[in-house]
Amino acid sequence: MIDRISNLKGNERPLSEQAADQIQKYIIDHQLGAGAKMPNEFELAAQLNVGRGTIREAEKLLVSRNVLEIQHGRGTFVARNTGIVDDPLGFAYLGDEKRLLRELFQIRLRLEPWIAALAAEQATEEKLAEVMRCGENVEVHIHDMQNEENYLPADQKFHISIAACTDNRILPILIPVITYSVHLIGKLTVNRLYQETIDTHRKIMQALQAHDPDEASKAMEEHLRINDDLISSL
């Protein structure tokens, strides 16, 4: 059950934002995963004690935050990669993409080896299985050149799945530093490091499966150093 919005006195925030907060709380409290169907507009309006127009505005806000997605004729669903949008930190507006890529990698080289080490310590079998699935998916797309356009999104999901193993709630906020740099390196380089990516991904996965934080950190650093060398040659 969603908490009703019944007392608006002293609250200067628009009703739609309050409603959006309550809908997000509903998703979290009910542990709804990607693709889960939400109650319809009438049900949400009744539960929140607001008009349907407020619900529509709240849902628009949540769509813009990649929390919900509306499928016309089917309903409203929890979005894939919930809460992660393409460029929430506004990297695209900084200009000078080569410099931006180098700066993002400076951060990744310090951040991701630590993420990998923490993932090796904290990962559950279920989350490790997701890392393996994502790693295998990267290899499938690299080997199948007809699906080359899907290689980079698959690579992004691989790194996201490792961060998810840490069970650290702050890391999803920092994920765009990783995903945007993957997007940029694909955009700025024609000769991608296909075999090197496969080899270093496998080392990372082996270290995670062994729950070896030192090896996981070293393997991630090796993976990033190879990409950093490519960036330096641009």
Residue 188 binned pLDDT confidence (cut-offs 50, 70, 90): confident
Q: Are 123 and 219 in contact (CB under 8 A)?
A: no
Predicted confidence (pLDDT) at residue 13 exceeds the cutoff of 80: no
Predicted confidence (pLDDT) at residue 15 exceeds the cutoff of 70: yes
The CATH superfamily of 91-232 is: GntR ligand-binding domain-like (1.20.120.530)
CATH topology of domain 15-78: Arc Repressor Mutant, subunit A (1.10.10)
Helix (H/G/I), strand (E/B), else coil: 217:
helix
Beta strands in 73-188 (DSSP E): 75-78
Predicted confidence (pLDDT) at residue 200 exceeds the cutoff of 60: yes
Residues 152-172: what's their mean pLDDT?
88
* Mean pLDDT comparison of 63-67, 148-152, 190-194, highest-scoring range: 63-67
How many other C-beta atoms can be found within 10 angstroms of the C-beta atom of residue 132? Answer: 15
Between CA 26 and CA 149 the distance in angstroms is 36
The whole-number pLDDT of residue 44 equals 93
Taking CA atoms, 188 is separated from 96, 101, 138, 213, 224, in Å, by: 11, 9, 19, 32, 16
Predicted confidence (pLDDT) at residue 68 exceeds the cutoff of 60: yes
Predicted confidence (pLDDT) at residue 190 exceeds the cutoff of 60: no
Task: For residue range 20-48, list pLDDT tens digits in order.
Answer: 889 988 888 888 888 899 999 999 999 88
- Residue length of the chain: 234
Torsions phi, psi for 2 (to 5 deg): -90, 140
The whole-number pLDDT of residue 41 equals 92
Backbone region of residue 75 per phi and psi (left: phi > 0; alpha: psi in -120 to 50; beta: other values) = left
Q: Which of 81-90, 136-145, 149-158, 209-218 has the lowest mean pLDDT?
A: 81-90
The DSSP element (H or E) to which 176 belongs, if any, is: helix 171-188
The whole-number pLDDT of residue 4 equals 56
Torsions phi, psi for 10 (to 5 deg): 80, -5
Structure tokens at 198: 């496969």
Query: ∠78-82-84 over CA atoms, to 5°?
Result: 145
Residue 9 binned pLDDT confidence (cut-offs 50, 70, 90): very low
The whole-number pLDDT of residue 29 equals 83
The whole-number pLDDT of residue 143 equals 81
| C-alpha closest to that of 154 among 141, 167, 171 | 141
Predicted confidence (pLDDT) at residue 61 exceeds the cutoff of 80: yes
Residue 147 binned pLDDT confidence (cut-offs 50, 70, 90): very low
Domain positions in the chain are 15-78, 91-232
Question: What pTM was computed for the model?
Answer: 0.66
